[in-house]
Structure 1
Amino acid sequence: MPRGGISTKQYDGKILGPISSAADKTMPCNGYTTGPVTTMKAGQVINVRFWVSELRGDRLKTLPPINGDEVRQGRHGGGSCEFSLSTDGGKTFHLIGKYTKTCPDVYAEWPVKIPDSAPNCDTPGQCLFVWSWIAGNVPQFYQNCADIKLIGKEGGTLPKTGITIVNVPGKKKGVKAKGDGTNSRSKGPNKAEVEVNLKGVWN
C-alpha cells in the first residue's frame, strides 16, 4: 500500500496527481510521509497493480473485468513507468524494473522482481518501493512510494542504475515519454519487457 493510499490515514484524494500539481506535491514520494509497512524479500516478484478512484470496496480485490463497463483512468497516453528501491528515504533510487508505452493501466499486473542481491533494510521511513511515471501525452512526472521492510542479504547491494526524473523543480521540463496514445485500456505489459524485468539486468 503506497503512502497516501486509499486505505491509509494520509489519504487526501491527491495521490493520483503529478509532482508539483500542488504546493505539497513534492519529491520524493509525492510529499507523503511514512505509511504502512509491507515486507518484501530479495528474489520476490511483486505483481504491481494500479488504482483509480472508481476501484473501491470489493473492486479493489481483483483486476477489472475486460468485458464490463470500462474503468475511467487518466493514462495520458501511457508512457514510461520505472520501479525502484531506495534505502535512504528517497534521496537516491535504484532501478529494478521498467515498462514503456502501455504503462500504467489498471487492467493489468506489472511484474517487478526484487533483486536477489538486495540488502536488508528495516529503518523506518528509509526503505521504499517506488513507482515513477513520465506521461505520454502531457509533460508530467508522477511518483508514489510504499514503505517496506526488505529482507535481503547481509552486505547486499542494489543496482547502480538510477531512475529518470523530469518535469519537477531543478530538472528538465517539457519532457513526454513515448506512449501508446490511448487513455483507455492498453495491451498490457510487453512480454519482452516482462522477461527483462524478471531477470533483473539493471546493474
Structure 2
Amino acid sequence: MPSKRLEFSTMLALSILLLVTMTFKSTEAHMAMLYPPPRGGYGTKEFNWKIHEFIGYKGFKYPCGGYSKGPNTKMKAGQLIPVRFWTTELRKVDKLPTKNVPEARHGGGMCEFSLSNDGGKSFHVIATYTKTCPDVMYEWPVRIPDNVPSCNDPGKCLFAWSWTAALVPQFYHNCADITIEGSGDGKLPKKMIQLYDFKGHKKGVTFPGDGRSHDHGRGPIAAEVKIASRRKSL
C-alpha cells in the first residue's frame, strides 16, 4: 500500500493540476471581437489565442492589443455592421450558436464601438451597448454613420470594440482594419471612447451589467439596438 506521504504528494499534485487547468480554462474563455475580423483575431495570420485578453494583462497593449495590421474589411457610410464576438469555447464561427456556449462575460458591462482614422491615436464613438454586452449568442448591429469621411488607408482606418466589464475592473479592446467609402466632407463623431483600468487611466472602474458571469444573457437591449442601427448621423 502506498505511504501516507505518497498519497498526500499525489493529491497535492492533482490539486495543483486541477487549479492550473481551471485557471487556464477561465482565462481562455474571455471575450474578443470575431466580426469584423480584428487584428490578431480568430482565423487571422497573427492569431495566437491571446486576442481575448484585457489591456495590461501580460503586456497586452493599448491600442489594439499591440497587434500589427490585419485583414481589411470594406465598409460604407450607412452600412449596418453585424458585430459578433468570440470565445475559445466557440467551435463553429460561420453562424450564431444555437446551444449555450461558456463565455467569461464578467456580468456584462459597457461596450463602445468606434472609428479611428489615425491608426488608433483617437477613437470616435459610433455606438454603445450597456449591461448585456458582450455575448457570443447574438449579433450586435452597429451602423456606420452616413456622414463619416472616407478612409482608404489600411492601417490607419480602424473599427474598434471596447468593453469595461461589470464584475471585474478590466478593459478589453480589439481593432479591425477597414476602409470606408464615405462622404467627401464628412466628420467623425466628437465623442471619444472611455478608457479605464490600465496604466495611465483611472482604475477600479466597472459598469452595471446583467450579472451573468459565464452564461449568456438576454442579448442586446431593444432600445439600444434601435439607436445603434438606425442613427444616420453623429
TM superposition score normalised by structure 2 = 0.82
Which structure 2 residues correspond to residues 158-173 of structure 1 after superposition, within 5 A? 158-173=188-203
Distance in 2 (CA, whole Å) between partners of 1:185 and 1:86 is 30
Matching residue's letter, 1:38 = T
Aligned length, in residue pairs = 197
* Aligned with residue 61 of structure 1, among 83, 94, 101: 94
Distance in 1 (CA, whole Å) between partners of 2:165 and 2:115 is 21
Distance in 2 (CA, whole Å) between partners of 1:130 and 1:50 is 12
Matching residue's letter, 1:98 = T
Task: Tell me, yes or no, if structure 1 residue 22 matches structure 2 residue 55.
Answer: no
Residue of structure 2 in register with 1:189 after alignment? 220
* Aligned with residue 7 of structure 1, among 43, 48, 70: 43
Matching residue's letter, 2:222 = K
Give 1:92 shift: 0.5
- Whether contact under 8 Å (2:197, 2:204) holds in the other structure is yes
Unaligned runs of 5+ in 1: none
Matching residue's letter, 2:42 = I
Which structure 2 residues correspond to residues 8-87 of structure 1 after superposition, within 5 A? 8-23=44-59, 25-56=60-91, 59-65=92-98, 68=99, 70-87=100-117
Distance in 2 (CA, whole Å) between partners of 1:176 and 1:33 is 29
Moved more, 3-12 or 130-139: 3-12
Matching residue's letter, 1:196 = I
- Whether contact under 8 Å (1:111, 1:198) holds in the other structure is yes
SS at match of 1:29: coil
Unaligned runs of 5+ in 2: 1-36
Distance in 2 (CA, whole Å) between partners of 1:123 and 1:132 is 22
**Quick one: percent identity of the two aligned structures?**
53
- CA RMSD in angstroms, aligned pairs only: 1.2
Matching residue's letter, 1:32 = Y
Which structure 2 residues correspond to residues 136-155 of structure 1 after superposition, within 5 A? 136-155=166-185
TM superposition score normalised by structure 1 = 0.94
Give 1:54 shift: 2.1
SS at match of 1:146: strand
Residue of structure 2 in register with 1:104 after alignment? 134
Give 1:202 shift: 7.5
Which structure 2 residues correspond to residues 83-94 of structure 1 after superposition, within 5 A? 83-94=113-124
- Whether contact under 8 Å (2:146, 2:233) holds in the other structure is no
SS at match of 1:145: strand
SS at match of 1:162: coil
- The structure in which a higher percent of residues are helix is 2
SS at match of 1:95: strand
Distance in 1 (CA, whole Å) between partners of 2:154 and 2:147 is 21
